[in-house]
Structure 1
Amino acid sequence: MFSHVMVGSNDIARSKIFYDALFTAMGGEPGVADAKGRVIYAHRGGRFLIGKPIDGKSATGANGGTIGFTMESPEEAKAWHDAGVANGGTTLEDPPGERSGASGPIYLAYLRDPDGNKLCAVHRITG
């Protein structure tokens, strides 16, 4: 069901030290920074990311955090997004669509739920 978890940080270098230690302790590898300055961990089929909040505000328990849901197709992601907007959610960032990701093309759709939590529908395009 979930594709990834992302948390915000006000000090990426400090957070990388902390999370590198955690992932190493559980048999994982240190995180790898991407071109946007986010640090990405891949372990046991999951992804965990840390980064500065996109909106430029300070990271808090929720600001900068994203809960990602794996989708079977772009159509499913778009339907997920439309259902969220129709039921009290708010669209954010770019409109739903295909983007270039670190591991290839992806289809993304972002929402905030009625309480402000940031959610993302993710379909990894293959083939």
Structure 2
Amino acid sequence: MIGYVTIGVSDMARAKAFYTELLSDIGAKVLLDMDRIAFLGKNMGSPMLAVCIPYNQEPNHPGNGNMFSIQLPGKDAVDAHYRKAIELGATCDGEPGQRIPGQFYGAYVRDPDGNKLAFFHFG
């Protein structure tokens, strides 16, 4: 259902490096790079993440209540992606843990621009 999600960033090179490294082990890479905006994903037919310098050339602002999430195959993968994000410069916004008993395991970080993302596993 989701084609892509776009987040505003202040430094394209930093954002592309952060997300390329963070998501490389799940098959994501930069698929299309048009200077001001770059699309990352597995292929153009799957959901993608776009990082961009805002079109209006105003400073980027992380949205209050906005978040995007990355579904992973298990709790170990959630833990590993959380640690990797922190190593790459993200900040903790909720350590890995069981959120809904037996159903939802998640971890939350803020990227170097303050955008919130979650890593999660159902089951």
TM-score by length of 1: 0.46
Question: Whose Rg is larger?
Answer: 1
